[in-house]
Amino acid sequence: KSVTLVAPRGERQGGLYSTEKDGASDSESKPDTGPPGVPVPADDTPEVLNKALSGLSSRWKNWWVRGILTLAMISFFFFIIYLGPMVLMLIVLCVQIKCFQEIIHIGYSVYHSYHLPWFRTLSWYFLLCVNYFFYGETVTDYFSNLVQREEPLRILSKYHRLISFAMYLTGFCMFVLSLVKKHYRLQFYMFGWTHVTLLIVVTQSHLIIHNLFEGMIWFIVPISCVICNDIMAYMFGFFFGRTPLIKLSPKKTWEGFIGGFFSTVVFGILLSYVMAGYSFFVCPVEFNSDRNSFEVDCEPSDLFQLQDYALPAALESLTGWPTLRLYPFQIHSISLSAFASLMGPFGGFFASGFKRAFKIKDFANTIPGHGGIMDRFDCQYLMATFVNVYIASFIRGPNPAKVVQQLLALRLDQQLHIFNSLKTHLTERGLLEEEA
């Protein structure tokens, strides 16, 4: 069975930051002597689009296919936002599983030829273990009221890490028992493959959910900035691209990179202004024990209150405005947009190098014109880590609600001891009158 070896998605005609020039040298176009290539599926473009676009060149046909499917995906994104944060979390989990499947399938395509046992089974088992650990930590951290009310959840929460370790240890022992003579090195290679995939995919998706719990705006704005940068960089590269950006992906250009940057920063500021005025987007996801449901209702913090900012003298003379009225979050959105457009693409470069190493065009053929789910989320995972670090470094402070939840989980004598200590502290600071 013949296998067609093709360039990664970002390098084919009409790819992101595209240019008419072929910047690849002869040495780059030669296949390396790495692992065997993975079979590439046939063209997956819907027949109705093939017929409608049959008169166009391959370059413009690819442009229209990508554009139509991009609009469809954006529409679906708006729809799941409308459904609320819990549906978004389920979608994140589904995307995580699909990305994991696509990467593991590439490894399995090479590994399966040696007829070695248990690789795919163990890979999915480790995915289950890691998700159990991360989601259990999240539930315990954010919804302690719910956990304390239900006896089974309280027991699972108390021994959560022990159970997680026991599950992982079981998988570890299964791997050791599956070792086959003469293939030890390959099996340990695939063991590492699985764990690196878990690190890249599962850990990052867990951070995405943590960002979502801080407020949907911390989920929607970063993801939208990456999408905007991808679209605008593609547009600028398609129409104006002439100067290759990086040898790893010769079709990506400086024109696309720079155009995507400025477009994304402007887009991030405008989107933040629109979303910051709605409690539905800015309030953290919390569990209401009285109503027994998850809610996104609160009094918006100062981060989402309009404030006046004095403009520098140069800008004041240019615009005639002494001050500018903004949400503080809009200032933070500049950092998010800049990272999405300057550092986010390196997630795509990393994925391009990975695909080139295995001589594949896309991770899968799930989305016509775009490739697999991982092809669409290669930059999103890097962005998720940055947002989580940014929130922890510059935004998040002590949460009184969480402190109260933790106090209520203590024994009564411990609560009384903390009460007396706090009372003494406040009395010494003059906030409480000393009892006679």
Q: How far is CA 410 from each of CA 141, 151, 156, 161, rounded to the nearest angstrom?
A: 15, 15, 17, 19
pLDDT at 114: 59
166-177 confidence digits (pLDDT tens): 999 999 999 999
Task: Give 326's strand partners.
Answer: 307
The pair of three-digit structure tokens given for residue 202, joined into one six-digit string:
């599962």
Convert the pLDDT of each residue in 99-127 to its tens digit. 999 998 888 776 665 567 788 889 999 99
Q: What is the pLDDT at residue 25?
A: 38
* Distance, CA of 187 to CA of 184 (rounded, Å): 5
* Residue 117 three-state SS: coil
Beta carbons within 8 Å of 334's beta carbon, 6+ residues apart: 265, 268, 269
Name the DSSP class of 133: H
Check whether 287 has a pLDDT greater than 90: no
Residues 27-63 as b or e (16 or more Cβ within 10 Å = b) = eeeeeeeeeebbeeeeeebeeebeeebeeeeeeebbb
- Residue with the bigger pLDDT between 244 and 365: it is 244
Tell me the per-residue pLDDT of 419-430, one tens digit each, with 9 for 90 and over: 999 989 989 888
Average pLDDT of span 9-25: 39
- For the chain, how long is the longest CA-to-CA vector? 93
Q: Rounded mean pLDDT of the chain? A: 82
Residues 434 and 216: their CA atoms lie apart, in Å, by 45
Q: Which residue has the higher pLDDT, 80 or 370?
A: 80
Query: How many whole angstroms separate alpha carbon 408 and alpha carbon 404?
Result: 6
- Residue 8: what pLDDT? 41
Chain segment 243-260, per-residue pLDDT in tens = 988 887 777 899 999 999
For residue range 30-47, list pLDDT tens digits in order.
444 445 555 555 555 666
pLDDT over 80 at 317, yes or no: yes
The answer on pLDDT for 377 being more than 50 is: yes
Q: What is the pLDDT of residue 275?
A: 95
Structure tokens at 309: 């900012």
| Closest by Cα among 50, 54, 61 to 14 | 61
Side-chain-facing half-sphere of 163: CA atoms under 13 Å: 14
Confidence tier at 5 by pLDDT (50, 70, 90): very low
Q: In this predicted model, what pLDDT tens digit does every residue of 196-242 receive, in sequence order?
A: 999 989 998 999 999 998 999 999 999 999 999 988 998 899 889 88
How high is the pLDDT of residue 10? 42
Is the predicted pLDDT of residue 20 greater than 60, yes or no?
Answer: no
* Other C-beta atoms lying within 10 Å of the C-beta of residue 167: 17
Task: Report the C-alpha gap between 298 and 284 in whole angstroms.
Answer: 8
Give the confidence band of 362 by pLDDT, cuts at 50, 70, 90.
confident
Question: Which tokens sit at 145?
Answer: 């009221």
Query: Cβ contacts of residue 404 below 8 Å, gap of 6+?
Result: none
**pLDDT at residue 44, as a whole number:** 59
Residue with tokens 């950092």: 335
Mean pLDDT of 407-426: 88
Alpha-carbon gap, residue 5 to 38, rounded angstroms: 8
Using CA atoms, how far residue 262 sits from 255, 330, 334, 338, in Å, is: 11, 15, 10, 9
> Apex CA 3: angle with CA 2 and CA 6, to 5°?
145
Compute how many other C-beta atoms are within 10 angstroms of the C-beta atom of residue 116. Answer: 15
